[in-house]
C-alpha cells in the first residue's frame, strides 16, 4: 500500500476508535474536538484555492452554507419518510447522513462551479470582492426561502455528527489536497499561482485549474457545512456571513498559504484559543485583526511556515514551493 493511502487508513481507524470510546470522553472536550475538525476541513480546502492556486476567495462560508442547507434539508425533510416513524437503526441513520453529506458537498461543488466560471476570469482584489458578493447573495437567497426557515433558520436538525464523521472528513480532505498538489496534474495549481502567463505559455489551461480548485474546495466546504449543521442542530443564514469567511481566511494566512501542515495547526489554534479567551470574548476580533495586519507586515509567509521536513531530519525535499508572497512583486 502506498504511504499516503496507509496514512489515510490509519487516520480513519483512529477516528473510529476515538468515536467508539466517545461516551467516556468529556462532552465539552468532544465539542471542541468536533469544532476543530470542521475548521481544519474548511481551512485545508480553502488553502487549495487561496494557497496553492493563488486565487483569493472570500466566499468560503457561502459554500459551507449551501452544504449545510442541502444536507440538513435531506435529513430533516426526507429523513422521516425514508426511515419511518421509529427513526431507523443507527446504521440506517449513518447511511442517510453519509448520503446527506455527499449531497451537501455536491450542492456546494455545483455552486462553486456556477460561481467559479464567471468570477475566475477576474484577479486579485476583484476576485475577492466577487466571491464575497456571491457569498452574500447565497445568504440573501437562503433568507428568502421559506421552506428552509427563511431568516429564522432551519431548526430540528438531527444530531448525527460524531467525531468519526468529522475526522474521517478531515482525513479525506487532507489526503485529497496533499495528494492532488503533489500529483503531476496538481503541479498545474502551483504553476497557476506562481506565474499564470508562463503556465499558459507551456500549455496549461489555467482557467480550468482555477475552476477545478474552486469546485474541489467548495465540495469539502459543503461537507464541512453538513457536519456543522448536524452538530449545531440549528442553522441560520447569518451564521455563514462574511465574518465566517474571514475566520477561515485568517486560518489559511496564519498557517501560511500553500502549507497544509501549517494551516492545520492554525485551524487548531484558532479554534481552541477562543475557548480560553471566553472571558474577553469581545476583544477576540481585535486580536484577530491585529494578527492579520501584524502578520502581513512582519511575517507574510505565515506563522507556521516552517520547514517541517528539515525539522524531522529529512532533506529539504518539500512539496510546497515558496509561497506566492515570497516572490518579488510583479513589475
Partner 1 sequence: MTEFLQQLLNGLSLGAIYALIALGYTMVYGVLRFINFAHSDVFMVGAYIGYYAGQHLPVGTLGGGLLVLLAAMAGCSLLGMAIERLAYRRLRGAPTLNVLITAIGVSLFLESAGQAVFGAAPRTFPMVFPVRNLRFAGLAVSSNQLVVIAVAILLMIALQLIVFRTRIGTAMRAVSLNPRAAQLVGVNLNVVISFTFGLGSALAGAGGVLYALNYPSIDPLMGVMPGMKAFVAAVLGGVGNIPGAALGGLILGTVETFVNGSQWSTYKDAIAFAILIGILLFRPAGLLGRAVPEKV
Footprint of partner 1 on this chain (CB under 8 A)?
54, 56, 118-119, 121-122, 124-126, 128-130, 132-134, 136-137, 140-141, 143-144, 197, 242, 246, 249, 253, 282-286, 288-293, 296-297, 300, 324-325, 327, 329-330
CA 274 to chain centre: 19
Cα-atom radius of gyration of the chain, to the nearest Å? 20
DSSP bridge partners of 154 = 235
CB of 133 to partner 1, least distance (A): 3
CB of 287 to partner 1, least distance (A): 9
CB of 45 to partner 1, least distance (A): 18
CB of 229 to partner 1, least distance (A): 22
CB closer to partner 1 out of 179 and 292: 292
CB closer to partner 1 out of 98 and 242: 242
CB closer to partner 1 out of 82 and 198: 198
CB closer to partner 1 out of 30 and 141: 141
CB of 88 to partner 1, least distance (A): 37
CB of 41 to partner 1, least distance (A): 22
CB closer to partner 1 out of 311 and 331: 331
CB closer to partner 1 out of 22 and 133: 133
CB of 78 to partner 1, least distance (A): 27
CB of 320 to partner 1, least distance (A): 16
Please state the three-class secondary structure of the chain as a single string: CCHHHHHHHHHHHHHHHHHHCHHHCCHHHHHHHHHHHHHHHHHHHHHHHHHHCCCCCCCHHHHHHHHHHHHHHHHHHHHHHHHCCCCCCHHHHHHHHHHHHHHHHHHHHHHHHHHHHHHCCCCHHHHHHHHHHHHHHHHHHHHHCHHHCHHHCECCCCCCCCHHHHHHHHHHHHHHHHHHHHCCCCHHHHHHHHCHHHHHHCCCCHHHHHHHHHHHHHHHHHHHHHHHHHHHCCECHHHHCHHHHHHHHHHHHHHCCCCHHHHHHHHHHHHHHHHHCHHHHHHHHHHHHHHHHHHHHHCCCCCCCCCHHHHCCCCCCCCCCCCHHHCCCCC
CB closer to partner 1 out of 35 and 135: 135
The grid coordinates of residue 119 equal 468570477
Amino acid at each position: 500500500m502506498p504511504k499516503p493511502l496507509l496514512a489515510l487508513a490509519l487516520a480513519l481507524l483512529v477516528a473510529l476508535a476515538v468515536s467508539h470510546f466517545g461516551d467516556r470522553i468529556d462532552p465539552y472536550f468532544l465539542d471542541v474536538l468536533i469544532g476543530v475538525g470542521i475548521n481544519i476541513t474548511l481551512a485545508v480546502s480553502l488553502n487549495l484555492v487561496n494557497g496553492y492556486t493563488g486565487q483569493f476567495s472570500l466566499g468560503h462560508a457561502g459554500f459551507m452554507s449551501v452544504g449545510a442547507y442541502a444536507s440538513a434539508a435531506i435529513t430533516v425533510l426526507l429523513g422521516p419518510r425514508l426511515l419511518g416513524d421509529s427513526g431507523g437503526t443507527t446504521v440506517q441513520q449513518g447511511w442517510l447522513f453519509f448520503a446527506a453529506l455527499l449531497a451537501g458537498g455536491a450542492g456546494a461543488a455545483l455552486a462553486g462551479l456556477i460561481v467559479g466560471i464567471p468570477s475566475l476570469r477576474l484577479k486579485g482584489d476583484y476576485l475577492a470582492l466577487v466571491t464575497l458578493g456571491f457569498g452574500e447573495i447565497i445568504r440573501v437567497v437562503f433568507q428568502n426561502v421559506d421552506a428552509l426557515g427563511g431568516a429564522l433558520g432551519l431548526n430540528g436538525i438531527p444530531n448525527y455528527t460524531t467525531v468519526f464523521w468529522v475526522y474521517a472528513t478531515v482525513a479525506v480532505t487532507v489526503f485529497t489536497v496533499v495528494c492532488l498538489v503533489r500529483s503531476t496534474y496538481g503541479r498545474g495549481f502551483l504553476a497557476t499561482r506562481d506565474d499564470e502567463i508562463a503556465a499558459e505559455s507551456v500549455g496549461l489551461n489555467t482557467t480550468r485549474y482555477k475552476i477545478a480548485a474552486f469546485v474541489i474546495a467548495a465540495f469539502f466546504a459543503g461537507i464541512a457545512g453538513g457536519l456543522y449543521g448536524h452538530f449545531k442542530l440549528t442553522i441560520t443564514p447569518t451564521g455563514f456571513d462574511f465574518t465566517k469567511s474571514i475566520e477561515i481566511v485568517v486560518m489559511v494566512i496564519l498557517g501560511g498559504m500553500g502549507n497544509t501542515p501549517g494551516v492545520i495547526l492554525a485551524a487548531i489554534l484558532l479554534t481552541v484559543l477562543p475557548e480560553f479567551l471566553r472571558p474577553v470574548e469581545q476583544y477576540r476580533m481585535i486580536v484577530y485583526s491585529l494578527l492579520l495586519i501584524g502578520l502581513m507586515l512582519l511575517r507574510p509567509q505565515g506563522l507556521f511556515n516552517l520547514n517541517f521536513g528539515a525539522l524531522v531530519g529529512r532533506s529539504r525535499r518539500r512539496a510546497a514551493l515558496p509561497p506566492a508572497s515570497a516572490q518579488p512583486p510583479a513589475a
